Amino acid sequence: MLVLARALTYATLFVSLVLVLVPARVLEWSGIHAPAALGAAQLAGLAVATAGGALALWCVLAFAVLGRGTPAPFDPPRRLVVRGPYRFVRNPMYLGAGVALSGAALYYQSLPLLAYVAVFETAAHLFVVGYEEPTLARAFGEEYAAYRARVRRWVPGRGAARIAAG
């Protein structure tokens, strides 16, 4: 239970900073305000943001329950997580955050916020390649090498449909 509390605490801090505080500043700096009415773009944006947030939350829960750790680099999972959304891509948490941010950009119809999504995903990619993958290789050795060989980093492969069905 303690690991779940830690995971949710770290996830809340990450979400607060990267998915709420910084995007709010981007909107403020660009002079974009909340729409006066909910139109098709706002409803679609809410749906996309909700889907992205749900994916990110699923990842946090998978880290806590399956991996016995958190998304924080200083308190990582003790076991390699290869189930749940990690069956399809190796980095679904960053994808979920990017999708949630993209939904916000659609909701506000904000190009500056969409640019922030690009910056966020670029930073995530550099972090994954420069830190996470080498760290996982050292921590989990052959188990991670096998996982890395069968599951792609960002885009599900052709085998993802078979994995989902079976």
Is residue 4 scored above 60 in pLDDT? yes
Instruction: Return the domain boundaries, the chain.
Output: 2-158
- Higher-scoring residue by pLDDT: 61, 75: 61
CATH hierarchy code of domain 2-158: 1.20.120.1630
Mean pLDDT of the 137-145 span = 96
Single-letter amino acid, residue 1:
M
Enter the pTM of the model: 0.86
CA-to-CA dists, residue 94 to 38, 40, 71, 132, angstroms: 28, 26, 11, 12
CA-to-CA dists, residue 17 to 59, 123, 155, angstroms: 18, 15, 26
Is residue 80 scored above 80 in pLDDT? yes
pLDDT digits (tens, 9 = 90+) for 22-49: 888 988 998 988 888 899 999 999 999 9
Question: CB neighbours (10 Å) of residue 144?
Answer: 18
